Structure 1
Amino acid sequence: MSVVDWLLDADPAIRWQVLRDLTGAPAAEVEAERARVATEGWGARLLAAAGPDGLWAGGACFPAGWTGEEPGQPWTATMHSLQTLRLLGLDPHGAAARRAVALVAAHGRWEHEGQRYFDGEVEPCINGRTIEAGAYFGVDVAPLVQRVLGEQLADGGWNCEAERGSVRSSFDTTINVLDGLLEFGAPAVAAARRRGEEYLLERSLFRRLSTGEVARPSYLAFAFPYYWHYDVLRALDYFRAAGAAPDPRMAEAVEVVRAKRQPDGRWLQDRVHPGRVHFALDAEPGAPSRWNTLRALRVLDWYDGRLP
């Protein structure tokens, strides 16, 4: 079985993206496969996991009643579930998505101070992901976009610790905001996106600007789902989706991706972010990962100029 055939022997959420990004299949075939996300496999299971009020696990960022005493961060609440539905490619115009998002808008409140869900809260890492989901599903998040634009730091990125005095950006917060601004897509955010992208590029996507050292070893380990976490595969896939031209400053990160390709042409799941989940979306650490393989292949095709 070829790597592409192995990827196609999977959930509709993977199949439609393989058809679009790796095979150049006709648009009608891609859209027909994508439509199955709402009714089959992971997409249908995740939609069914929402409560009667439309919230997942009864909370916005954390499950209702979460005490913080279990290992890791639980990933079952509404923010993580909406992000996952976007990554699966649930049709934002379909009836299932419209119903789900309307219920979140009506009932979702942030744990911070009870703010309405799509109004966001105070941390740009959370607000970036809220913008991403809101813009994808057709919610007006323009006021929240204006907030994060005003929170961009002098070095070009963002940091959730800025409200506590930090003046240095973080890779993790910056990629979350960039994903949101990319999904929002208005020309008014283009300059802010460029500055955020430069923050990453100046650091070769994973190095400290001050010393050139690897900022965190975890940035070189690929995980899916990634939730709020940064790694270089996520960053490269952002630049690919943004339609950016390959930049020489990405080259070292691209070689990290190439080096992780296994002799059989697949990529492994390097790690899984610990915490409660509705169900597994990918392999255990050390096993071949369809999501990492799909993302790595399309990143390399983009970087090497082999788009279908």
Structure 2
Amino acid sequence: MSGWQDMVKGNPVDWLLEPDIQNPAVRYLALRDLQDSPADSPEFIQAKADAFSTGSVATILSRMRPEGFWVKPGGGYGPKFTGSVWSLVTLAQMGADISHPGVRLAAEYMLGHTIAPAGWFSYNGTNPGLLHCHAGYLAAAMLDLGMTGDPKVMNAVEWQARLITGEDIAEVGDESPIRYYRYTPGPGFVCSANTGMPCAWGVVKAMGALSRVNCLQRSRTIHEAIETGRQFLFGTNLKICDFPTRDKSKDYRAWFKLGFPMLYSSDILEVLEVLTRLGDGADSRLQAIWQLVLDKQDAEGRWLMESAHDGKKWVTIEEKGQPGKWVTLRALRALKAAFPS
């Protein structure tokens, strides 16, 4: 395949760079990730300031309680889509970071309520509350927010890798607290919610977190866990996403509906994003999958918002069924990383 710009119709980057009252963070991230704007340029500095002070990011931050949580104290898994976990993960995907005092406060609050005694991320702060999807997207958010220097974050990522490989983890029912529990009952990506089969959502989210760890900082266990996830994804027919599911379905259509933000569920573009981050974006085995994504763009090189939790979040980010700047940004960013000019 050729360079990314040759694969895109029209010039959607100009569209992403337009001023947008509702989603000013798109302009900021397009400058950063598509235009490679210098971080000290006046244009970039202003775009980042606008992204934090207006639009969706500012609205979500305005709903945060002074203590650093949303809606109610605790682990933040509930209420769904407006609780602390969902709010913070959305902010991270919108480019927020801990340079903003409110974002730092929220990130530190989350660390204080979602790290289990064993050290891994948990939806309720207890050892049994480990779910690969939740631990993965929360760890990815923490890393994107700029929490890479926090030892608790890096330790939680290491624990997730060990839970994938099985290294030094006791079986379910063992007396050791460092064991598998009900929701994650064994190595790999098995999940009781998927009747003990590997959960593809968990794979993508866990790989999303592990892939964000700098190559030079990846432990042997992280490398082994990444290889386990890579084998799972490449061992699947991604054209139909025939992942194991509890209803034995061989065609899970939700994988082909692109959306934003990416929370517990996933889509085929996120699979490509993860594999690209791992250095596999241009692998010939992914050519047909890239083509599926490319075929979704309109004549102007824009992608539709096909999946959105309308009316459930603090803000309606973009209208479902219409060209979406966030989905378009996701697609262009992945293409640029996989097929640089």
Please indicate, yes or no, whether the TM-score normalized by the shorter chain is above 0.5.
yes
**Is 1:82 equivalent to 2:88 in the alignment?**
yes
Change (3 A) 1:304 1:135: closer
Q: Tell me by how many angstroms 1:214 deviates.
A: 5.1
Aligned with 1:207 (options 241, 245, 263): 241
Please give the alpha-carbon distance, in whole angstroms, between the structure 1 residues aligned to 2:261 and 2:337.
21
Please give the alpha-carbon distance, in whole angstroms, between the structure 1 residues aligned to 2:243 and 2:62.
45
Change (3 A) 1:172 1:290: same
2:181 maps to none
1:196 maps to 229
Please give the alpha-carbon distance, in whole angstroms, between the structure 1 residues aligned to 2:281 and 2:299.
29
Residue segments in structure 2 that go unaligned for 5+ positions in a row: 1-9, 117-121, 167-185
Amino acid at match of 2:51: V
**Is 1:103 equivalent to 2:109 in the alignment?**
yes
2:333 maps to 298
Amino acid at match of 1:191: E
1:62 maps to 78
Contact in 2 for aligned 1:204/1:250 (Cα 8 Å)? no
**Is 1:282 equivalent to 2:318 in the alignment?**
yes
Equivalent residue runs for 1:234-245 within 5 Å: 234-245=270-281
Q: Tell me by how many angstroms 1:250 deviates.
A: 1.1
Please give the alpha-carbon distance, in whole angstroms, between the structure 1 residues aligned to 2:114 and 2:218.
29
1:7 maps to 16
Please give the alpha-carbon distance, in whole angstroms, between the structure 2 residues aligned to 1:24 and 1:54.
32
Amino acid at match of 2:269: L
Contact in 2 for aligned 1:202/1:209 (Cα 8 Å)? no
How many residues align structurally? 288
Please give the alpha-carbon distance, in whole angstroms, between the structure 2 residues aligned to 1:295 and 1:245.
14
1:171 maps to 200
Q: Tell me by how many angstroms 1:113 deviates.
A: 8.7
**Is 1:24 equivalent to 2:24 in the alignment?**
no
Change (3 A) 1:256 1:95: same
Change (3 A) 1:124 1:107: closer
2:163 maps to 151
1:69 maps to none
2:174 maps to none
Secondary structure at the counterpart of residue 34 of structure 2: helix
Deviates more, 1:227-236 or 1:127-136: 127-136
Change (3 A) 1:159 1:34: farther
Q: Tell me by how many angstroms 1:50 deviates.
A: 0.9
TM-score by length of 1: 0.80
Deviates more, 1:132-141 or 1:78-87: 132-141
Aligned with 1:259 (options 280, 283, 295): 295
Deviates more, 1:6-15 or 1:198-207: 198-207
**Is 1:161 equivalent to 2:192 in the alignment?**
yes
Taking only the aligned residue pairs, the percentage that are identical comes to 25
Secondary structure at the counterpart of residue 302 of structure 2: coil
Please give the alpha-carbon distance, in whole angstroms, between the structure 1 residues aligned to 2:68 and 2:114.
8
Residue segments in structure 1 that go unaligned for 5+ positions in a row: 64-73
Change (3 A) 1:209 1:13: closer
Please give the alpha-carbon distance, in whole angstroms, between the structure 1 residues aligned to 2:278 and 2:54.
29
Deviates more, 1:120-129 or 1:168-177: 120-129
Q: Tell me by how many angstroms 1:141 deviates.
A: 2.3
TM-score by length of 2: 0.73
Which one scores higher on RCO, CA 8 angstroms, separation ≥ 6?
2
2:125 maps to 115
